[in-house]
Amino acid sequence: MQRRFLVLALAALACACSKKKEEPSSGPAPTPAATAQAAEKAPNAVGLVIDVGGRGDHSFNDAALRGLELWASGKRYEGGRYVDASAQELRESISSDLASIAPSLKPLAVKPLVLQSKAQEDYAPNLQLLVEQGAQLTIGNGYMLANAVRDVATENPKSLFLLIDSQVLDAQGKARQLPNVRTILFKEQEGSFLVGALAGLVTKTGKVGFVGGIEVPLIKRFETGYRAGVMTTNPKAAATLMGVYTGSFNSVAAGKQVAQDLIAKGADVVFHAAGADGLGVIQAVKEARAAGKSVYAIGVDSDQSHLAPEAILTSMVKHTDLAVYQASRDLLDGKLVAGEQVLGLKESGVGMADVRVDFPGKAEALQKVEALRQRIVAGQLSVPGTQAELASFQAATP
Amino acid sequence: MLEVLHSLLFSTLDAAPALVFAALGAVLSERAGVVDVGVEGMMRAGAFCAAVAALAMPTPLAVVVGMGAGAGMAAIHGWLCIRWRSDQVVSGMALNLVALAGGTFLLESLFGPNGTPPITQLSRWDIPGLASVPVLGALSGHAAPTYLALLVPFVFQGLLTRTPLGLRLRAVGDKPHAVATLGLSVPALRWGAVVGGGLLAGLGGAVLSTAVLDRFEQHTPAGLGFMALAAMVFGRWTPVGAFLAALFFAFGNALRIGLASSAPHLMDLVPQGVLLALPYLMTLVLLGLQGQRSSAPAALGVPFEQESR
């Protein structure tokens, strides 16, 4: 009897899982529904596996999804299926720092296949599933997928892969190249430098803060760039800059707690690079504003202004959307080559979103930041991406 | 210095309630002998339903709906574990998985991938006169759940140790056959404890989406349920113990954050990862030290069968 109902519980569980499969979503093994989808495979299917941050993180994953679904295939994901997006929607989703290349972002004949990952163990099966569903190009979004992409790409030498935010690493953690994998790294420090420079100009208390997710070199690049930016425009604020890591990318409560602490200690501009934890940071800023404090948050990866229009000073945008779009276009043109790409300000890989809030001296501040941007693009200013580079940057700055 | 203490205390009190309620829920269920691994799933159900309900009704009422949702999940657990005597750990884990996948599925099909729209948060109470007192002022300016979380553990402790009902609850977790011999219904007592535990876990979840945040975020509660289990073990299965453990975990976290922002050089000495794992490490150490003399209820996880001995 006992066993029978255990089976029942597991059946209910399987039911819940297979339901999730009907919308393009996660699952460890191919199911009949999945194979049926593969049978009607489109000529140009591009697969995307997003990390555990999930769809709707308003940040990193949503940027990649935007690049594939909205820009490359002209579709919007709604209620578990794709509907055609309007031209206006497409236009509005392109952030202003890409204005110069916006006209070239035309929908392509690409069919998106997206899988979400609920746990780290899902990455490799999800990638393999997309390959089996007929994706010519399969994208792994995030450094957490690095090993999964390496393994699946080695097993499927005829498929092409795009790995975002990491190089292909061998078992010893050394970078290597695979003939069917393109990797993309971003110079997050350059975009973070700009928002840091702005934060230094905007702060009234002379204190600014940084909230990171998990302390990895990638997130460190955000921090060092930000610190260098603040240092350039406001050396005093740089000396007291508070940087705290939440230790996760999925805990809103942790992000909020950290931001509350920073605000209580006088920070009035807080930049986050913490995934979903960052939503907590924005919430804390919103609540502090409601309590009468003049504080701003700076968003990350996507333009997060819509989350709290009053409270978001700007966002450091990272154009995985563009990288995904370009890879899809290269695939169609037959020009997708393996290798490593590094995208910075110059390549429109990172940037600063529109500043939609008003503060005294706004025009002047934006001018200064723009001047710094031009110096970085021209190669006259090199932004530190590691702790060691930051130390020498500090020494060089009067 | 006082300001640092103030912000530490405030942050602890602001972050603790969800953990406290979930830990109390786990204590209630486990003292009656039913393992409560599913507390994470119950919290998720509570958080989701409270956020959805708050779109249509006043937020305090929505919190009650969230509690109901937690109790509903607990009822599934109870039905499997008490009625059909299935493995309690498996049932709890299944509940967690269903809540994880089901929550995401419902969220996406009802609201699209961007999550629920913002709701009205539970209002914060400023205690007149207290706000300006140094350090103690941190007691002011929280939402109702914080004050509730300071009160409920003691009421619960009193109920458990000083009333006939409390005695029966404890007995049903330690020696259910003795309870049955007295002509009391073991299943009824266990049902009450499991559903009550679900109510508390649901409340903990509802706090996350109505007081900590102003909507349901898709990762909620992000492992807080397991932290609550750790608090329960750390508090030796007593309500006040679990409450203190939960406060201690929340304080430890606030302290880590406070040190990282105020004394960054100290953080160079101790890796942050170690500090993040500390609550779990301490629970493991405590369990190891207790060894055979564990304070867990004697009949914990054992399905009750009248005919068995």
Domains of chain A, by residue range, sit at: 22-186+324-330, 188-317+360-396
What per-residue confidence (pLDDT) applies to A370? Answer: 95
At the top level of CATH, the class of A188-317+360-396 is: alpha beta
Residues contacting residue B84 through CB under 8 Å, at least 6 positions apart: A1, A2, A4, A5
- The mean pLDDT of A345-366, rounded to a whole number, is 93
- C-alpha distance from B194 to closest chain A C-alpha (Å): 18
Q: Which residue has better confidence, B276 or B42?
A: B42
Least confident of A19-33, B32-46, B278-292: A19-33
Which amino acid is located at A320 in the chain?
A: T
- Facing residue for B257 by CB, picked from A1, A78, A261: A261
What average pLDDT does chain B have? 90
- Facing residue for B87 by CB, picked from A6, A58, A279: A6
Give the model's confidence band at B293: pLDDT under 50 very low, under 70 low, under 90 confident, else very high.
low
Query: Is 0.90 topped by the overall pTM?
Result: no
Best A207, A214, A244 member to test B by mutation, with max B CBs in 10 Å, is: A244
pLDDT at residue A333 greater than cutoff 70:
yes
CB pairs < 8 Å spanning A and B = 148
- C-alpha distance from B208 to closest chain A C-alpha (Å): 8
* Structure tokens that stand for A6 in this block: 């255990």
pLDDT at residue B113 greater than cutoff 80:
no
What per-residue confidence (pLDDT) applies to B259? Answer: 84
Task: Indicate the DSSP class of residue B82.
Answer: I
What per-residue confidence (pLDDT) applies to A318? Answer: 94
At the top level of CATH, the class of A22-186+324-330 is: alpha beta
pLDDT at residue A2 greater than cutoff 60:
no
What per-residue confidence (pLDDT) applies to B309? Answer: 59
pLDDT at residue A1 greater than cutoff 50:
no
What per-residue confidence (pLDDT) applies to A36? Answer: 43
Report which secondary-structure segment, H or E, holds B76: helix B59-78
- Angle CA A113–A252–B222, to nearest 5: 70
Least confident of A12-26, A121-135, A298-312: A12-26
What per-residue confidence (pLDDT) applies to B291? Answer: 65
Q: Searching chain A, which residue's CA lies closest to the CA of residue B1?
A: A265
Best A261, A265, A303 member to test B by mutation, with max B CBs in 10 Å, is: A261
Cross-chain residue pair A247–B273, CB shorter than 8 Å:
yes
pLDDT at residue A276 greater than cutoff 60:
yes
Q: Searching chain B, which residue's CA lies closest to the CA of residue A53?
A: B219
**Domain spans of chain B?**
16-122+148-247
What per-residue confidence (pLDDT) applies to A397? Answer: 63
Cross-chain residue pair A243–B264, CB shorter than 8 Å:
yes
Matching fold, domains A22-186+324-330 and A188-317+360-396: yes
Cross-chain residue pair A54–B218, CB shorter than 8 Å:
yes
Interval B23-69: pLDDT, tens? 999 999 999 999 999 999 999 999 999 999 999 999 999 999 999 99
Positive or negative: CA dihedral B223, B229, B235, B238: positive
In chain A, the largest separation of any two C-alpha atoms, in whole Å, equals: 78
Residue B200 contacts residue B68 (beta carbons within 8 Å)? no
Cross-chain residue pair A118–B101, CB shorter than 8 Å:
yes
CA distance A163 to A333: 19
What per-residue confidence (pLDDT) applies to B277? Answer: 80
Give the model's confidence band at B84: pLDDT under 50 very low, under 70 low, under 90 confident, else very high.
very high
What per-residue confidence (pLDDT) applies to B112? Answer: 76
Interval A89-130: pLDDT, tens? 888 888 888 888 888 888 898 999 999 888 889 999 999 999
Best B37, B79, B86 member to test A by mutation, with max A CBs in 10 Å, is: B86
- Asked if this assembly's ipTM is beyond 0.85, the reply is yes
Cross-chain residue pair A279–B217, CB shorter than 8 Å:
yes
Residues contacting residue A258 through CB under 8 Å, at least 6 positions apart: A211, A244, A246, A277, A280, A281, B257, B261
What per-residue confidence (pLDDT) applies to A15? Answer: 43
CA distance B217 to B223: 13
Least confident of A90-104, A171-185, A339-353, B34-48: A90-104
Residue A229 contacts residue A203 (beta carbons within 8 Å)? no
- Facing residue for B261 by CB, picked from A77, A215, A262: A262
Among candidate residues B211, B209, B206, B242, the one with its CA nearest the CA of residue B227 = B242
pLDDT at residue B223 greater than cutoff 70:
yes
Q: Searching chain A, which residue's CA lies closest to the CA of residue B19?
A: A253
